[in-house]
Amino acid sequence: MGRRFFCTLLLTLGLLAAPAAEASIAVDSSSSCTPTSANSFTWSHTTSGVDRVLIVGVALRNPNSQTVSSVTYAGTSLTQVLARDNGTSVRIEIWRLVGPALGTNNVVVSYASGVSAKTACGAVSLTGVDQSNPIDATNSATGTSLAPSVTVTTVTNYAWVIDGIAFRSTGNAKPTGTAGGGQTERWSGYTEGGGSDPNIRGKGSTEGPKNPAGSVVMDWSLDGSTSVDWAAAGVALKPDACPSTTVAEPTYVAANAQSGQATVYWGGADSLIILRKAGAFTTESPTNGQSYTAGGTIGAATVIYDGTSAASGTTCTSTSCTDTGLTNGTAYHYKVHTKSGTCYANGLTVNGTPPSGTHPAWTYMLAGGSILKAGVTGEGTIYTSSNASRIVSLSTSNGIQSWAPVSTTSAIQGWLVWIPISGGSTKAVIGGDQGGKVYSVDVATGATNWSPTMTGANAVQAPVAAQLRDYSNASFQSTYSTDVIFGASRNSSTTDNKLYAVRASDGTALWTFNQNGTDYAVDYIAGMPYVDYSRNRLYVASRAGAAGTQQSFWAINTLNGSVVGSLALGHLETSPTLSYDGTTIYVANTAGDLYAINASDLTQKWTSPSALGTAVNGFVWEDYSTAGRLYFSTANGNVWCLQDPGAGVAPPDPASPVWKTAVAGPSTPLLLDKLYVGSSNGKVHQINPTTGTNEKQFTVGDGTKTVGDPSTEDGTQVFVGTTEGKIYKLPLPLP
C-alpha cells in the first residue's frame, strides 16, 4: 500500500516518466485472389495508414518450373523477397512493396507469356514498417509431411512474421490446413485439379510482434490427405523505429541574414538539429537511428547545432542560433530537423545571403508561404503578414525578430494596420485572416490582445481599417470611447458579405453592416476600406454579384453602420482612396474603368470613367505635391501617371497619359521622391514620377521570385517581400 501510494504520488508530480512508446507494426488489411488456372490474376486490395508495406504471396503448381514474371499494385511493381520450390511440384513466392498507393487498387500477378499455372494467392498490408529496409529476416522450407513449418529468426524486437505456404495432394484429395498457435490466417485459396493433375492450395498467416527478437515457428496442420508436397516461406518485417507520426515539424522556422552572419529561429521544438549548407539542399538529411554532433557533416552540410551544443562560431538559445563568420554574398541554406532520440522530422528549410554590400541591408525569411505585403512600420519595427499563417515583428535596423511570430488560424493576405490605442500607451498591430478572424497583437510583447471570429465571415482578406478616436471629430468621440476597427468579409456568396465594426480595446462587436445577409446584396470585399475622418464615413469597394450589376461602391456611416450611399460600378477589387483635399474618391473596377467620385454627394466627378482597359492593382496614389496627379499600376504590365482634369469634364484620356511605363507584373507603387514598384521579374523598379523614366532596376535576391508591394519607414529605405516568404530592406538611394 505504501509503495503503491508512493509511485502514484511520483506519477502525479511527473517524477516518474512513462515508458517510451515502442514502435508498432499492425495489420492493415488482407485479401485473396480468385484462384484458377491462367497466366495472370487480378484482384482488389485496400491500403491505408502510414509507413505501409504490402506483402503478396503466390502459391503455384509447378510441373514445368513455372514462375511469376511480375506482381504490380496500382501499376507499381513489387520486388520479390524469396521463393522456394519443392522439386517440380509446388512453389511459394513472396513479394513486397514499400509505401503502396492509398485506397483500393488492383493487385496483378502475371506469368510468362503463354504459361498457365494453377495458383492461389493473397495480399497483406501492414503499417508501422521500416520504410528504408523493411526486411528483418527470411527463411523457407519444403517437405511432404502433414505438419509443415518454417522457422524465421528475427533480429529486431517487435518484428512481425508473415508466411506463405503452397501444398498439394498426390492424388485428387483436397487437404486443408490450420495455422499454428499464435498465427492468424490472412489469405487462402485453391485451384482444383483432376485425375493425375492434383489441386494446389495456398495460405498465408501472420504472427507478431516478436519481443524480444528470436525464433518464430510458422507451422500448419494439414488433413484430408495422407501424402502432400509443400513449400513454405517466412518473412520478418522490421518495425519502423521512427514512425512518420512520431516527430512533428517545428511550428515555424525563420532566418535573418546580416553582414557576416545569419540567425535561425524556430518554435515548438525542444530538441532539434540544424544543418547549414552553402547552396540548396539535395540529399543532406539526418538518418534515423544515427546520432550527430555539432561540427560534424552530413554530405555537404555542416551540423551547426545538435540540440545541446553548437559548432564553433555559432551561439544558440532555446529558440534561435546565430551563425557567424559567414562569407558575404554566399547563399546559405539552413534545415531545421526536430528529433526524438535519433528519430528525425523531415525538416523545414530557410535561406539567407549575408549582404556583400549595402543592398540589401538585411533579409528575413519565414518558411511556409509568400510575403507580398512588405509590412507596416511603427517606432523602429516593421510588422508583416504571411501566407505561412503568422504575424511577424522585426527591427527595422537589422531585421531581428522582436518576438516569435504569432500564429493565426489561416493565412493573412492583406496589409496589417499599426495603431497607437487612443487614451493610453498601448499600441497594437491588427489584421484579418482567411479563417474569418481578426487579430490584435500587442506590439511590445507579441501577446494576442483579442482574436474574435467575425460572425458570418468565412474569410477576412481585405486589410482592416481603423478610425482613431484621438484624431476624430466630436461626433465620433461622443459616440465611442475607443478606437474602432473595421473588417470586411470575403465569402463565396455574392450577396451576404458583411462589414464589421469592433472596439480596438477588446474586439467587442459594435455593429455589422448587412448583418442578416439579406439587408443588402453585398459581394465579397478584397480591398482595404478607406476612413474619411471629416465625414465619419467608410468607403468600401466590393464585387458586383454574379451578373456584375449589384451595387459595389458603398459609403457607410462609421457611427452606426448605416448606408450613406452606394453606386453600381462593376466588380471592384481595389481599395478606394481619398484625395488630399478630401473632395474626390478614386476607385477602379476589374474591367479597367477608373472612377472619380465626388465625396460630398457621391456623384461621378467626370462625365464618364477613364477607360483604361485593364484592371488597376491595389489602389491609386495622388501626388502629395501636385493636386490631381495620379499614379497606379495595371494588370497588363504598366505603371501610369494621369492628371485629374477636374469636375464636370471628360476623364483623362488613357491614350494620352502624362506618362506610361512598362513594368512586368507591377505591384502597387510606393510614392516617395521616386516611385518604387515591385515586379514579377524579381526586381524593384525606381521610376521618375515627373517623366516616367525607369531609372533603376534592383534585382532582389536571385531575381526569380515575384516582388510584392513596397513600404517604407521614413523614406530613406524601402521594404519589399517576395513569393519566397522573404523580406528585404533596401536603403535609398538604390545602387
Q: What is the pLDDT of residues 370-402, one digit of tens each?
A: 999 889 999 999 999 999 999 999 999 999 999
Which residue type sits at 445?
A: T
Nearest to 524, CA basis, from 591, 452, 592, 434: 434
What pLDDT is recorded for position 189? 86
- Side-chain half-sphere exposure of 328, counting CA atoms within 13 A: 11
User: pLDDT digit string (tens) for 641-699?
Assistant: 999 999 999 999 999 999 999 999 999 999 999 999 999 999 999 999 999 999 999 99
Nearest to 97, CA basis, from 163, 52, 160: 52
What pLDDT is recorded for position 8? 28
**Chain centre to alpha carbon of residue 182:** 44
Helices (H), 108-162: none
CA angle, 485 as apex, 464 and 528 as ends, to 5°?
25
| Cα(708)–Cα(369) distance, integer angstroms | 13
User: pLDDT digit string (tens) for 59-83?
Assistant: 988 666 678 999 999 999 999 999 9
Architecture of domain 252-357: Sandwich (2.60)
User: pLDDT digit string (tens) for 402-452?
Assistant: 999 999 999 999 999 999 988 878 899 999 999 999 999 999 999 999 999
Q: What is the largest CA-CA distance in the chain?
A: 110
User: pLDDT digit string (tens) for 497-543?
Assistant: 999 999 999 999 999 999 988 899 999 999 999 999 999 999 999 99
What pLDDT is recorded for position 425? 82
What pLDDT is recorded for position 197? 53
Cβ contact 593:611 at 8 Å: yes
What's the helix, strand, coil split of the chain in %, to 5?
Answer: 5, 50, 50
What pLDDT is recorded for position 67? 84
CA angle, 637 as apex, 596 and 656 as ends, to 5°?
50
Q: Kindly give, in sequence order, each residue whose CB lies less than 8 Å from that of residue 129, ignoring residues fewer than 6 positions away.
A: 25, 51, 52, 53, 98, 237, 238, 239, 240
Give the H/E segment covering residue 6: helix 2-13
Question: Does the bond joining 209 to the residue before it have cis omega, within 30 degrees of 0?
Answer: yes
What percent of the chain shows pLDDT beyond 90?
A: 82
Mean pLDDT of the chain: 92
What pLDDT is recorded for position 111? 85
Q: Is the pLDDT of residue 116 over 90?
A: no
Q: Write out the DSSP string of 29-91.
A: EEEE----EESEEEEEEEE-SSS-EEEEEEEEE-TT---EEEEEETTEEPEEEEEEEETTTEE
Q: Is the pLDDT of residue 21 over 60?
A: no
| Cα(438)–Cα(414) distance, integer angstroms | 11
| Cα(48)–Cα(478) distance, integer angstroms | 63
Nearest to 566, CA basis, from 519, 517, 516: 519
Please state the domain extents for the chain: 26-237, 252-357
What are the CA-CA distances from residue 133 to residues 94, 98, 363, 609, 682 (Å)? 16, 9, 41, 69, 44
What pLDDT is recorded for position 15? 29
Q: What is the mean pLDDT of residues 726-730?
A: 98
Q: Kindly give, in sequence order, each residue whose CB lies less than 8 Å from that of residue 572, ignoring residues fewer than 6 positions away.
A: 527, 541, 542, 543, 544, 552, 553, 587, 588, 589, 590
What is residue 432's three-state secondary structure?
Answer: strand
Which residue type sits at 532?
A: D
What are the CA-CA distances from residue 284 to residues 232, 276, 333, 341, 349 (Å)? 41, 10, 11, 19, 12
Cβ contact 527:575 at 8 Å: yes
Q: Write out the DSSP string of 335-393.
A: EEEEEETTEE---EEEEE---SSSSSSEEEEETTS---B--EEETTEEEEE-TTSEEEE
What pLDDT is recorded for position 211? 92
- β-bridge partners, 127: 26
| Cα(310)–Cα(261) distance, integer angstroms | 15
What pLDDT is recorded for position 169? 75
| Cα(156)–Cα(236) distance, integer angstroms | 9
| Cα(694)–Cα(702) distance, integer angstroms | 21
Cβ contact 89:145 at 8 Å: no
Q: How confident is the model at residue 362 (pLDDT cuts 50, 70, 90)?
A: very high
Strand ranges (DSSP E) for 408-515? Answer: 417-420, 427-432, 438-442, 448-450, 465-467, 484-488, 499-503, 509-513
User: pLDDT digit string (tens) for 475-509?
Assistant: 999 999 999 999 999 999 999 999 999 999 999 99
Q: What is the mean pLDDT of residues 550-565?
A: 98
Q: Specify the DSSP class assigned to residue 470.
A: G
What is residue 465's three-state secondary structure?
Answer: strand
Could you tell me whether strands 343-344 and 348-352 are parallel, antiparallel, or unpaired per DSSP bridges? unpaired
What pLDDT is recorded for position 18? 30
What pLDDT is recorded for position 14? 30
What pLDDT is recorded for position 424? 78
CA angle, 578 as apex, 577 and 584 as ends, to 5°?
120
| Cα(51)–Cα(244) distance, integer angstroms | 7
Q: How confident is the model at residue 466 (pLDDT cuts 50, 70, 90)?
A: very high
**Region class of 208: left (phi > 0), else alpha (psi between -120 and 50), else beta:** left
Q: Is the pLDDT of residue 20 over 50?
A: no
Q: Is the pLDDT of residue 12 over 50?
A: no
- β-bridge partners, 207: 161
- β-bridge partners, 167: 201, 230
Q: Write out the DSSP string of 569-610.
A: -S---S--EE-TTS-EEEEE-TTSEEEEEETTT--BSSSS-E
The residue count for the chain? 735
Q: What is the mean pLDDT of residues 588-604?
A: 98
What are the CA-CA distances from residue 496 to residues 434, 490, 544 (Å)? 17, 9, 12
Q: Write out the DSSP string of 159-188.
A: EEEEEEEEEEESSS---EEEE-TT-EEEEE
Q: In what order do the strands lie in the sheet with 40-47?
A: 40-47, 103-111, 68-73, 76-77
User: pLDDT digit string (tens) for 96-108?
Assistant: 999 999 999 999 9
What are the CA-CA distances from residue 222 to residues 149, 421, 580 (Å)? 11, 84, 96
What pLDDT is recorded for position 168? 84
Q: What is the mean pLDDT of residues 599-622?
A: 97
What pLDDT is recorded for position 714? 96
| Cα(118)–Cα(199) distance, integer angstroms | 8
Q: Is the pLDDT of residue 143 over 80?
A: yes
